[in-house]
Amino acid sequence: MAGSTEKPVSALPRQPIKKLLAPVKKFLHVEAASGVVLLIFTIIALVLANSSAADWFKSLWKTPIEFKFGNFEIKDTFVHLIINDGLMTIFFFVVGLEVKREIVFGELRSVKKAMLPVLAAIGGMVGPALVYLSLQYGQPGQRGWAIPMATDIAFVVGFLALFGKRVPFGLKIFLLSLAIADDIGAVLIIAFVFTDALAWDWLLVAASGFGVTYGLNRLGVRQVNVYVVVGAVIWLAFLKSGVHPTVAGVLLGLLTPASAWVGDKAFLEVLEETWRRVSARVANGGERLEKEVRELEQLSFAARETISPLHRLELALHPWVAFVIMPLFAFANAGVKLEPAALAEPVAVAVALGLFIGKPLGIFLISYVAVKAGLTALPRGVSWKLLAGGGCLAGIGFTMALFLNGLAFPVAEYPQKEAAGKIGTLAGSLASAIVGAILIYLATTSPASQPDTNQPSEEDDHPDEPAESAQSEPAKVEG
């Protein structure tokens, strides 16, 4: 088989559609692309919400949706049921996959490596909440304290990409790991804070669904459709239980196997046996037999299962989440009427300051204390100025902030505060992006900032990592 690998690949017919879609595929792999698309849809939503089409745009998302089967009934608006509860569950499923990957292979797999980003994430959640509560404690808007707590990594990665290789790899890894720890905190808040009275019978159904999922994994069931059906039952059970259904997405992501079903040695054995049989048949000019078809199907299965379900699902779902679900969520939720007086609303001010001041302050202070106490160290090539700039960029809390805003202030009960929360999120995220970009620019262009020749590459960062982690990974898309 040596020397023969290239021939079959070059002999494969090239699909014309792949050539046509090549520019699109290239765009989808640009780090900043998802942030650009998200920004475009946000601007369109704001333009429509402040135009003569505002009433139509608002009513579009409030279209009632109802499913009924006997005594079983689901009833809500299009934006809440289909987008915020439905599609965002897929978003949170990918969050669960990313958390699992980082725990098994990445920065969160060891206490030493996880210490700084985890502590920084805690500071980055506590800081905004304290700033918000200092302005809203005892007020009707107090229930929105969680809105400015999370980081939108799509926008952060987009801004970091503008600086190219001048930004140390250590800062990127730090912010990605911080955002993942942030996501874990946001999920816990959704599960334990924004949960109505529990329906324990439905929670029992969900628990049974998770048990079935685990059992199917152990039995080696690899048909995705089976898991989709079980996942849909779990989602419905969470929806009816009072626990927000997006939590189901995260838990299913954490249950996804991170190791391949077929090892490299087993795959090579199947490949060599199939190669031998096919080569012999082609050399003799014989026709393909049914037994050979079964062997080729087995080879196809083995090739697919040399990649873990976690990695395969991440690669498959990343484009849909980054370029469809997140922009659609922004399009449906970011539209708010911009009025100068709205920025003075107490909730808007509290959210904006929570993101703009509380987030970077919490990240920087707890990181500084942890490093000076000798608990951890700054990533290689990262200065305190760069960390401060990264902390400001982490104040871009767009996607998750809007999501938490909808949970804290349901529009049917708190229409003014819901709108104020959106405006505060936009204002705080914009200010954080501008100041963060300026700080990083100054930190990377000052005479004191010299390139770190010892800066690790992505491969060098985890020299002992399993082979699977060396596979290309999608950019993180969490909010």
Q: Is the pLDDT of residue 161 over 60?
A: yes
Question: Tokens 């698309």 — which residue?
Answer: 37
Interval 219-224 mean pLDDT: 83
**Residue 440 pLDDT level (bands cut at 50, 70, 90):** very high
Given its phi and psi angles, is residue 142 left (phi above 0), alpha (psi -120 to 50 degrees) or beta? alpha
**pLDDT for the residue 473:** 45
**Residue 182 pLDDT level (bands cut at 50, 70, 90):** confident
Of 276 and 200, the one with more pLDDT: 200
| CA neighbor of 76 nearest in space, from 41, 181, 68 | 68
Return the percentage of the chain with pLDDT > 90, whole number.
Answer: 37
**pLDDT for the residue 372:** 93
**pLDDT for the residue 5:** 45
Question: 16-86+114-193+329-449: CATH homologous superfamily?
Answer: Na+/H+ antiporter like domain (1.20.1530.10)
Q: How far apart are CA 148 and CA 250, in angstroms?
A: 21
**pLDDT for the residue 267:** 77
Q: Is the pLDDT of residue 376 over 60?
A: yes
Q: Cα dihedral sign for 243, 244, 245, 250?
A: negative
Q: pTM for the whole thing?
A: 0.75
Say which amino acid occupies 199.
A
**pLDDT for the residue 448:** 54
**pLDDT for the residue 218:** 87
- Which range (58-72, 99-113, 192-206) has the least confidence? 99-113
Of 339 and 310, the one with more pLDDT: 310
**pLDDT for the residue 469:** 39
Domain locations in the chain?
Answer: 16-86+114-193+329-449, 261-306
**pLDDT for the residue 452:** 45
**pLDDT for the residue 32:** 65
Name the pairing type of β-strands 72-77 and 64-69. antiparallel
Of 160 and 458, the one with more pLDDT: 160
**pLDDT for the residue 74:** 87
Of 421 and 199, the one with more pLDDT: 421
- Which range (2-6, 203-207, 235-239) has the least confidence? 2-6
Q: How far apart are CA 334 and CA 46, in angstroms?
A: 7
**pLDDT for the residue 346:** 94
Q: How far apart are CA 241 and CA 222, in angstroms?
A: 29
**pLDDT for the residue 386:** 93
Cβ neighbours, 10 Å, residue 263 = 13
- Which range (162-176, 241-255, 372-386) has the least confidence? 162-176
Q: Which two tokens stand for residue 479?
A: 């909010």
Of 10 and 412, the one with more pLDDT: 412
CA distances from 4 to 7, 12, 65, 359 (A): 6, 14, 57, 55
Helix, strand, coil percentages (3-state) for the chain, rounded to 5, are 70, 5, 25
Instruction: Report yes or no: 356 and 395 within 8 Å, Cβ to Cβ.
Output: yes
Out of 158-167, 284-293, 465-474, the most confident range is 158-167
Q: Is the pLDDT of residue 84 over 50?
A: yes
Q: Which two tokens stand for residue 130?
A: 């304290």
Element (H, E) at 359: helix 359-372
Q: How far apart are CA 203 and CA 213, in angstroms?
A: 15
**pLDDT for the residue 389:** 94
**pLDDT for the residue 29:** 54
CA distances from 273 to 266, 288, 302, 306, 430 (A): 11, 15, 13, 17, 59
Concatenating the DSSP letter of every residue in 234-286 gives: HHHHHHHHTS-THHHHHHHHHHS--S-SS-HHHHHHHHHHHHHHHHHHHHTTP
**pLDDT for the residue 93:** 93
First to last CA, the chain: 46
Interval 36-40 mean pLDDT: 86
**pLDDT for the residue 451:** 44
In angstroms, how far is CA 336 from the centroid of its own chain?
Answer: 24
- Which range (345-354, 372-381, 416-425, 451-460) has the least confidence? 451-460
**pLDDT for the residue 106:** 76
Interval 76-101 mean pLDDT: 89
